[in-house]
Amino acid sequence: MIQGAWTQNMQTTINSTTLSLIKGDIIHEETDTIVNAANSRLAGGGGVDGAIHRAGGPKIMEECRRIGGCPTGSAVITSGGNLKAKYVIHTVGPIYQDGKHDEAKLLANAYKNSLALAVKKGIKTISFPSISTGAYGYPINEAAESALKTVMDFIKTNKGLSLVRFVLFSDRDFEVYKKTLAMLTA
C-alpha cells in the first residue's frame, strides 16, 4: 500500500522495511547513512558528490584518500564528517553510453552493494540520491525503475534495514520516481 502526501512524500512497506521517496537535499538527511554518487577516484566532484564533500568537511576526503578508489558498481564507507548522517557510503554508478555496455547491471550493483554494506555495518536507515542521472547521463526513467526494483528485491530478501529513502532533488526526478514506485507496487 502506498501512503503519504503525493506532493512531497510517498512510501510503502516491504518485509518490515519502509521504502520512502521524498523531494529534498540529501545533505540534510538524518538517516544513519547517506549514499554519495561518487566518482571512481573518490576525488569529490560536482553534483551530489561535491555537495556531500562540502557539507561533510575535510574528514570525508581524508578517509576517501586512504581508501584510494572504488570501481563502478562497488561501494565503500566513510564517516559522515560534519553531516547529520553518521556515515557516507560512496558508490560509483555507470556513465551512460547507450545502454549496451552493462550500464543496467552496474547501476543495480551500485544500489545492491550499498545496501549490502549498510546491512554488514549494522546500519538501519539509509538515504540514496538518484545515482548516475546527473553528469553521468543515465536516463531518469530507466534509472528510477532499476533503482526501485533493485532496492525492493533486496529488502524482500534481507532483514536489518528499517528505512530506505530516495531523496530526489528536482520536482521532475521526484515525479518520475513516484510514478515508477506506484507502477511497481500496483
Q: Which residues are catalytically annotated?
A: 49
Question: Which of 52, 8, 13 lies closest to 29 in space, CA to CA?
Answer: 52
User: Whole-angstrom Cα distance, residue 26 to residue 149?
Assistant: 21
Radius of gyration of the chain (CA): 15
Q: What sign does the dihedral 159-115-126-171 (CA atoms) show?
A: negative
Q: What sign does the dihedral 154-21-2-107 (CA atoms) show?
A: negative
> CA angle at residue 148 from 89 to 97, to 5 degrees?
80
Residue 160 is placed in which grid cell? 536489518
Residues 6+ apart with CB under 8 A from 98: none
* Phi/psi-derived region of residue 160, left when phi > 0, alpha when psi is between -120 and 50, beta in every other case: left
